């Protein structure tokens, strides 16, 4: 029996391409936290944190469509809920299952990770419960969800002895928060007849331009850089910044806003690869994996909704 007709609406509800960008937040957080205290990352805790973030992200996506079902009936009637491909009771049960699974996986990663997951779940509920309708608060809450996801991974290793040890983690989380908030501000206006112009379209680039060099410098200040790792980091950083620049410039003028947002979501994978490399040689394989995912992303995005 072919399962595609059954699964395809769920893939669209969960915006399958976007799910590729989720595990990188906690993985980068775990690697940065481990490098800061010269520890070997706990693979099980890192996997549990990544699974927790993935489940909670899915919870947020389903909750978003449940809360916006009336709007989608008017603006996006082909979405799985307004079209009836997935029933509202089914979506509710799936949202509850994802939330509980996320919290349980976070507990596997440790008590502190569970606390971070609870904060993340609260931010998701806050966003969907009304914050998204408040211009600045909404996009900042969205950004904080991704920043908290990175911190969740870091807390899987426990608390640092001092705040200074966590400087790369905090800078990466802040950069992720601002980047996501910046392109979320563009996404909030994607249904307008005229594209947003001016400084708004350059904010995602500005967020990465501030964050990526800062994370590298903070990590290098904590320990002696390993051979070639900073070179690879700078190469990936330039590629990431170039893509963000193009998404704010030529590509922004030539393509619809949803395609630009999809490009920024894809660029999260490159930023995560940079953050992993800032942790040293242990972050090299995860970084390469996230770069690979960035090439898979557009293939999935061509088939499934991603913004």
Q: Where are the domains of the chain?
A: 14-305
Instruction: Give CA–CA dist 93/14, Å, rounded.
Output: 14
b/e map 262-295, b = 16+ CB within 10 Å: bbbbbbbbbbbbbbbbbbbebbbebbebbbebbe
pLDDT digit string (tens) for 245-254?
999 888 878 8
- Domain 14-305, CATH: 1.10.357.140
Q: What span, in angstroms and rounded, lies between the C-alpha atoms of 217 and 245?
A: 22
Token pair of 20, please? 């590729």
Provide the 8-state DSSP code for 8. Answer: H
Helix (H) or strand (E) holding 4: helix 4-13
Beta-carbon contacts of residue 151 (< 8 Å; ≥ 6 apart):
29, 116, 169, 173
Closest of 187, 203, 168, 59 to residue 123, by C-alpha: 59
Cα 163 from Cα 169, distance rounded (Å) = 10
Q: Mean pLDDT across the stretch 180-200?
A: 77
pLDDT for residue 65: 94
Residue found by looking up tokens 């190469």 in the block = 235
CB 260 within 8 A of CB 281: no
pLDDT at res. 75: 81
Whole-angstrom distance, CA of residue 96 vs CA of residue 77:
24
pLDDT in tens, 122-171: 999 999 998 988 989 999 999 999 999 999 999 998 887 677 889 999 99
Q: pLDDT tens digits, residue range 274-289?
A: 999 999 999 999 999 9
Give the list of residues 6+ apart from residue 10 with CB closer than 8 angstroms, or none.
Answer: 80, 86, 94
CA 187 to chain centre: 15
Is the pLDDT reported for residue 190 higher than 70?
A: no
List the one residue out of 137, 127, 138, 212 whose CA is nearest residue 175: 212
Mean pLDDT, rounded, for 96-120: 97
**Mean of all residue pLDDT scores within the chain:** 91
Distance CA 181, CA 222 (A): 29
Most confident of 2-16, 67-81, 202-216: 202-216
Give long-range contacts, CB 8 A cutoff, 24+ apart: 97-101. Answer: 98/55, 98/56, 98/58, 98/59, 98/62, 99/55, 99/56, 99/59, 101/51, 101/55
Predicted pLDDT of residue 152: 98
Place of tokens 């601002």: 178
For 286-302, what is each residue's pLDDT tens digit?
Answer: 999 999 999 999 988 88
pLDDT classification of 2: cutoffs 50, 70, 90: very low
Q: pLDDT by residue (tens digit) across 58-93? A: 999 999 999 989 888 888 888 999 988 999 999 999
pLDDT value of position 1? 41
Which pLDDT band, with edges at 50, 70 and 90, does 45 fall under? very high
> Which tokens go with 46?
């890192």
Kindly state the percentage of the chain with pLDDT values over 90. 69
- For residue 3, name the pLDDT band (cuts at 50, 70, 90): very low
């Amino acid at each position: 029996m072919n399962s595609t007709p059954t699964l395809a609406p769920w893939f669209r509800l969960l915006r399958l391409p976007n799910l590729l960008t989720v595990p990188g937040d906690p993985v980068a957080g775990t690697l940065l936290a481990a490098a800061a205290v010269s520890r070997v990352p706990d693979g099980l805790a890192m996997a549990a944190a990544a699974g927790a973030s993935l489940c909670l992200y899915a919870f947020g996506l389903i909750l978003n469509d449940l809360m916006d079902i009336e709007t989608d009936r008017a603006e996006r009637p082909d979405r799985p809920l307004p079209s009836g491909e997935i029933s509202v009771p089914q979506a509710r049960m799936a949202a509850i299952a994802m939330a509980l699974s996320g919290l349980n996986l976070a507990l596997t990663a440790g008590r502190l990770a569970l606390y971070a997951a609870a904060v993340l779940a609260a931010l998701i509920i806050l966003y969907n419960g009304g914050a998204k309708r408040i211009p600045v608060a909404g996009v900042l809450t969205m950004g904080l969800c991704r920043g908290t996801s990175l911190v969740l991974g870091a807390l899987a290793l426990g608390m640092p002895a001092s705040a200074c040890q966590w400087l790369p983690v905090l800078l990466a989380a802040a950069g992720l928060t601002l980047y996501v908030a910046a392109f979320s501000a563009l996404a909030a206006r994607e249904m307008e007849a005229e594209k947003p112009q001016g400084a708004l379209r350059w904010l995602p680039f500005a967020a990465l331009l501030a964050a990526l060099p800062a994370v590298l410098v903070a990590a290098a200040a904590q320990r002696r850089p390993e051979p070639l790792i900073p070179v690879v980091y700078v190469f990936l950083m330039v590629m990431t910044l170039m893509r963000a620049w193009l998404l704010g410039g030529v590509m922004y003028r030539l393509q619809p806003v949803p395609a630009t947002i999809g490009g920024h979501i894809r660029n999260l994978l490159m930023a995560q690869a940079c953050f992993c490399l800032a942790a040293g040689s242990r972050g090299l394989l995860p970084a390469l994996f996230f770069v690979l995912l960035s090439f898979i992303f557009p293939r999935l995005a061509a088939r499934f909704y991603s913004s």
